[in-house]
Amino acid sequence: METIRVLVADDHPTFREGLVRVVADQDDMEVVAQAGDGEEAVQLASQVRPDVAVLDVAMPKLNGIEATRLIKEVSPKTAVLIVSAYGHDPYVLGAIEAGASGYLLKEARIWELVNAVRSLHAGETVLDPTAARKVFGRLVHSTSRGRDTSQRLHQRELEVLKLATKGMSNKEIAVALSISVRTVQAHLVNIFNKLEVSSRTEAVIRALKEGWVTLDDLP
């Protein structure tokens, strides 16, 4: 079984240590580094190249959004999960634009955080549902259409993207379309390449802007 290598960064020792214990207790995870501020998180990420980095949004020296941007520069394959006490639109929007693949509130249950780490490692996106709808709505209305659509998706790719928009996992999409999980993954790779994006979040944003899906398709 593959072990997910996790970096945890939070300036509150109690929350950080609690999250570290929870992650360390999972059979498929290990904590490879922990940091108390954003600068340390970026430095450690460049050294250990974790699979997933779990960051607080409000940290000293460097906030979680800026830390996310820098981590994606020094370790592009690291998926970033922001865990914050704040669900305000600017924080969520900033995190997505910086390259985060997940955004959860600290009030989320432990199992939700743990499953979010697994989902991000599997190439999926996890966002607080209410915040996601607000942010996607703002992104759609703030950017006009008119992009080159010569790389328009094939029908099956659109079907996969629409189901991904609903928050379905790769396995759930495979069952719904009666195809294998490997085929779903292949379709997602093609979708990302055609749309020139690197995550489900970016793909959904592009699909919304192009009108291929609507806000009603969101969970």
- In degrees and rounded to multiples of 5, residue 45 shows phi and psi of -60, -40
Supply 125's token pair: 């996106």
> Coil, strand or helix: which one is 122?
coil
Residues 19-39: what's their mean pLDDT? 92
Q: Indicate the residue type of 196.
A: E
Residue 145 predicted with pLDDT over 50: no
The overall average pLDDT reported for the chain is 81
* Residue whose C-alpha is closest to residue 215's, from 132, 146, 155: 132
Kindly report which listed range (36-40, 79-83, 100-104, 139-143) carries the lowest average pLDDT score: 139-143
* Residue whose C-alpha is closest to residue 97's, from 118, 112, 82, 114: 82
d(CA 93, CA 123): 19
| Residue 219: band (very low, low, confident or very high) from pLDDT cuts 50, 70, 90 | low
Res 38: pLDDT: 92
* Residue whose C-alpha is closest to residue 5's, from 87, 109, 78: 78
More confident residue, 45 or 122: 45
The pLDDT > 70 percentage for the chain reads 81
* CB-based contacts of 55, cutoff 8 Å, min separation 6: 9, 10, 38, 41, 64, 67, 68, 71, 80, 81, 82, 83
Res 150: pLDDT: 38
Res 104: pLDDT: 86
Residues 108-131: what's their mean pLDDT? 82
Res 80: pLDDT: 93
Residue 70 predicted with pLDDT over 60: yes
| Residue 213: band (very low, low, confident or very high) from pLDDT cuts 50, 70, 90 | low
d(CA 126, CA 113): 10
Question: What is the per-residue pLDDT across 52-66, written as a single tens digit (0 to 9) for each?
Answer: 999 988 888 889 889
Q: Look up the pTM and report it.
A: 0.67
Q: How many residues does the chain have?
A: 219
Res 130: pLDDT: 59
* Domains of the chain as residue ranges with CATH: 4-137 (3.40.50.2300), 145-217 (1.10.10.10)
The pLDDT > 90 percentage for the chain reads 30
Residue 134 predicted with pLDDT over 70: no
Residue 89 predicted with pLDDT over 60: no
More confident residue, 172 or 205: 172
d(CA 134, CA 93): 9
